[in-house]
Amino acid sequence: MSLELRAITKRFGSVVANDTISLSVGSGEIHGLLGENGAGKSTLVKILSGFITRDQGEIELDGTKLHLLSPNEAVANGIGILHQEPLVFLPFSVVDNFLIGSPKEYGYAEAYEALSTISEQFGFDLNPDVSASNLSIGERQQLEIARLLWLGARVLILDEPTTAISSTQREKLFATIRDLADDGMSVIFVSHKLEEVQELCDRVTILREGKISASVDLPSPVEYLVSKMFGTGVLPKTRIARVNGSSLLELANASAFEQPGQIIDVNLSVSRGQIIGLAGLEGAGQRTLLRAMAGFVPFAEGSFRLQSAEISELDYLDRLGLGFYYLPADRQREGLVNGLSITEHVALSVTDQSKVINWNIARSEAAKRIEKFSIKGTVESTPESLSGGNQQRLLLALMPETPLLLLMEHPTRGLDIESAAWVWSYLLTLSESGTSIIFSSSDLEELTTYSDQIAVCFSGRIIDQFDVSEATVEELGLLIGGVHQR
Amino acid sequence: MNSLQQTKYFAGAITISLVVSIFFLWLLEAPLVDTAKLLVEGAFGTNQRIGDTFMIWVPLLLASASLVVTFSAGLWNIGVEGQIVAGAVAASFVAREVQGSTTVILTLMVIGGFVGGALWGLLVGVLRVRGGVNEIFGGIGLNFVATGLIVYLVIGPWSRDGVASTGGTEPFGPQAWFPTIDGLRVSPLALIIAFVSLASVMFLLSKTHFGLRLRATGKNPLAANRFGIATSRYLLMAFIIGGGVAGLAGVTQAGAVYHRLVPSISGGYGFLAILIVLLARFRGLWVIPIALFFATIAMASFQWQLRLGLHSALGGVIQGVLVLSVVLVMGYQEVRQQREQSNSRDDAAL
């Protein structure tokens, strides 16, 4: 059993999500697929599972070319996917779930027997008659694995399987994966967690910005893997940390929880005009921290002070009034209103609120901002017709001129180089005129180039915070991976 | 998508519905020419018929204006029927209880009807915003309640002396009748109310900050919130305004058509208006001719039945075919447009 991918390419508009990806997984091999969010892992998994079709490239299983035009075809060809959230129908019993999707005319008798055989083989403790809603996430994964095996999976792809399970369950899962590999199964383990890939996999392919940046046997030095995950290149000049006297904002012992994501016992101090970069693997708490400061997620504990006033109780709209501003990573879903023109967005963003809109003024204001922010579009353009770079420019154009605090998720994710450079030159001007900026990024270069200070998030905590001059990109990579203390 | 292409799609949809309608007529062995002639004659053949067509046009315009507001806020206000009833009940209350000149009574009926409809709409809104009850279910539920309420009033507290029938209340006093022109059943005042309401709604949505924020909330509540819009408040306002305008349809039905409260006061015009607004693609200006066409078909249905022996449901069938064709074709156009856009956009969220 061996899986062979040759030059898989998938484009979404101008973005190449998978750029000539080739990899091969032999029988009994556990192959890691490592990369930050947006690197192209999910696209590749979706291609293999038949949810989306590739533009180019070949997939071969045991020498047979596969077309994989639908999830059904993938299953029929022996490709089994264990999704991040196990696809289990909660109100149904375990055995019903086991039977669902079975293309063969099997009945309950066969299902009971097969389930017990597979459970015995791998030491699963699955009672066929209980409701699936009584199972833990780990047990749901076991159920799903058992089902995939019964359906005849010859290749097993696990997509971030450890996100929602405890460490005991994880050990159990890893043991199962090793057993499967010993039986000759080809396994692809998709993750952004370095240490797990190191622990489990025989070989790893690292994706970065849609391309393969490395493919090596494991174990391999962590520094090397991190540098391939994040990319470093020539280190540009770092900024001199700017701390203008007393702090403007003070976050003390703050905890907040959302689904998914959390921050625990976070301390952060921000002074006027300061730029703080939040580093960390996806889901380490940066997003929750930004959303909690913006007012979308309530603080469960701790204090949040502006100068000396406690503001942790204020909601987003109140904080907007204080001069806070939040720019999301998902610009289309959370930032802009599809179907409304740029003029309408400008009218929506103005604070002076006469009752009746003067559309002529709004139009000329929109034209001015299109010019100033070099947006490729007209006053009548709607966001869905703009490229990612232009959407980000539009969002910046709609912001009050100098907010007190700008909270920004992935300022340049998905942007072309020119737009990215433009966005940062604008953000730096903002910071010089007194706006404090806190941003998250998975680009080490971006973090070290533009931050005054870097806060490293890991498992919801800020594990380190330092002036940007005090750390190298390599060290930052290790901190992010949680494998190194400074 | 430019307007030329859109017009092409629309023309295509109209053609489809014509072909399907003609097919139905052929099935029924109806004489095509006579049917078409009666469509015009039935609605506009005499002054009286023109008046009657306009009389049906009024509640259709008002209910459509109401729905334009709620649709703009992204809401499916199926409860519009109940809001019409609530407006009619409130207007009837004024007509029965208030003494005074025609001007005073009619003014109070209009205000009362607006408030009645608005409160009924607000109920749906509160259920949605505070209780998480989808406005479709809340609306349907409250439609039943409104029907129950009106039947209770007609056979209970407001019943005619000595008669317990669902035929309706005593007619209002003459001061509570909307003025009409001699020989016509339509009240010019009702027509004016309908057009002023529709114009106000269009102005509100396209020219004011309130309307813009309402539309933003309807298109993307999450992003609207990021712009500092308190979206729940705007949803409630949409229900209040929409309910109020629908209530006005109840006022004209009670004050200008029936001159009393009857159980079938809403006449199903609320549901018909949903079709009109879907056809108009939520744009106020288009509502005017489409609502008139629907009124025309409603009038023609009587003549078709009377003169050609065609079933009275035929008018509804034609209206339904028309809406289905347009919704299908426009939906197809949107899917195509989205596909084109996703091909030209760098959305790699996958």
Report how far residue B183's alpha carbon sits from residue B173's, in angstroms, rounded to the nearest whole number: 20
Residue pLDDT, tens place only, A46-89? 898 888 888 889 999 888 888 877 888 888 888 989 887 777 88
Cα of B2 to nearest chain A Cα, Å = 12
Cα A191 to chain centroid distance, Å, stands at 11
Cα of A311 to nearest chain B Cα, Å = 17
pLDDT of B349 reads 35
DSSP 8-class letter at B46 = S
Is B341 within 8 Å of A385 when comparing Cβ atoms?
yes
Q: Does A248 touch chain B (CB under 8 A)?
A: no
Average pLDDT of A336-356? 88
Is B344 within 8 Å of A13 when comparing Cβ atoms?
yes
Is A334 within 8 Å of B342 when comparing Cβ atoms?
no
Q: For residue A126, give the nearest of A162, A102, A98, A156 by alpha carbon.
A: A98
Query: Which residues from B are below 8 Å from A338, CB to CB?
Result: 219-220
Is A333 within 8 Å of B223 when comparing Cβ atoms?
yes
Query: How many CB pairs (< 8 A) connect A and B?
Result: 94
The angle at the Cα of A154, spanning A148 to A156, to the nearest 5 degrees, equals 60
Residue pLDDT, tens place only, A120-130? 888 888 899 99
Average pLDDT of B139-145? 95
Residue of chain A whose alpha carbon sits nearest to that of B217: A337
Domain A235-323+401-486: which CATH number of 3.40.190.10, 3.40.50.11030, 3.40.50.300, 3.90.1300.10: 3.40.50.300
Report how far residue A389's alpha carbon sits from residue A426's, in angstroms, rounded to the nearest whole number: 13
pLDDT of B293 reads 94
pLDDT of residue A7 exceeding 70? yes
Nearest to B222 among A17, A333, A384 (CB): A333
pLDDT of residue A36 exceeding 80? no
Q: For residue A248, give the nearest of A401, A404, A400 by alpha carbon.
A: A404
pLDDT of B261 reads 95
* Residue B299 neighbours by CB under 8 Å, 6+ apart: B42, B43, B49, B52, B53, B56
Question: Domain A2-230 - what CATH class?
Answer: alpha beta
Cα of A37 to nearest chain B Cα, Å = 10
Residue pLDDT, tens place only, B108-127? 999 999 999 999 999 999 99
Average pLDDT of A106-124? 88
CB A193 within 8 A of CB A283: no
Residue of chain B whose alpha carbon sits nearest to that of A349: B227
Q: Does A326 touch chain B (CB under 8 A)?
A: yes
Please provide the average confidence, as pLDDT, over all residues in chain A: 86
Residue pLDDT, tens place only, A376-403? 889 999 998 888 888 999 999 999 888 9
Q: In the Cβ-directed half-sphere of A257, how many Cα atoms lie within 13 Å?
A: 2
Q: Which A residues 413-452 touch B at CB under 8 Å?
A: 414
Q: Is the sign of the CA dihedral A129, A133, A135, A140 positive or negative? A: positive
Average pLDDT of B124-144? 94
Residue pLDDT, tens place only, A242-289? 555 678 899 999 999 987 888 999 999 999 889 999 998 877 899 999
Is B345 within 8 Å of A384 when comparing Cβ atoms?
yes
Which among A352-356, A446-450, B71-75 has the top mean pLDDT? B71-75
Residue pLDDT, tens place only, B29-78? 888 888 889 889 988 999 999 999 999 999 999 999 999 999 999 999 99
Is A337 within 8 Å of B345 when comparing Cβ atoms?
no
pLDDT of residue B342 exceeding 90? no
Is B347 within 8 Å of A13 when comparing Cβ atoms?
yes
The pLDDT-based confidence of A297 (bands split at 50, 70, 90) is: very high
Task: Kindly give the pairing relationship between strand A275-279 and strand A299-306.
Answer: unpaired
pLDDT of A238 reads 46
Cα-flanking dihedrals φ and ψ of residue B186, to 5°?
Answer: -85, 140
Is B350 within 8 Å of A52 when comparing Cβ atoms?
yes
Lookup result for tokens 């991040």:
A84
Q: Max Cα separation, chain B?
A: 74
Is A414 within 8 Å of B219 when comparing Cβ atoms?
no
pLDDT of residue B345 exceeding 60? no
Is A388 within 8 Å of B346 when comparing Cβ atoms?
yes
Q: Is the sign of the CA dihedral B123, B124, B129, B134 positive or negative? A: positive
CB A158 within 8 A of CB A125: no
Q: For residue B346, give the nearest of A209, A409, A384, A46 by alpha carbon.
A: A384
Cα of A232 to nearest chain B Cα, Å = 23
Query: Which residues from B are below 8 Å from A320, CB to CB?
Result: 228
Residue pLDDT, tens place only, B268-292? 899 999 999 988 888 889 999 999 9
pLDDT of residue B16 exceeding 50? yes
Residue pLDDT, tens place only, B186-214? 999 999 999 999 999 999 999 999 999 99
- pTM here is 0.78
Q: How far is CA A418 from each of CA A209, A396, A423, rounded to the nearest angstrom?
A: 16, 15, 9
Cα of B327 to nearest chain A Cα, Å = 18
Higher pLDDT, A91 or B65: B65
pLDDT of A370 reads 94
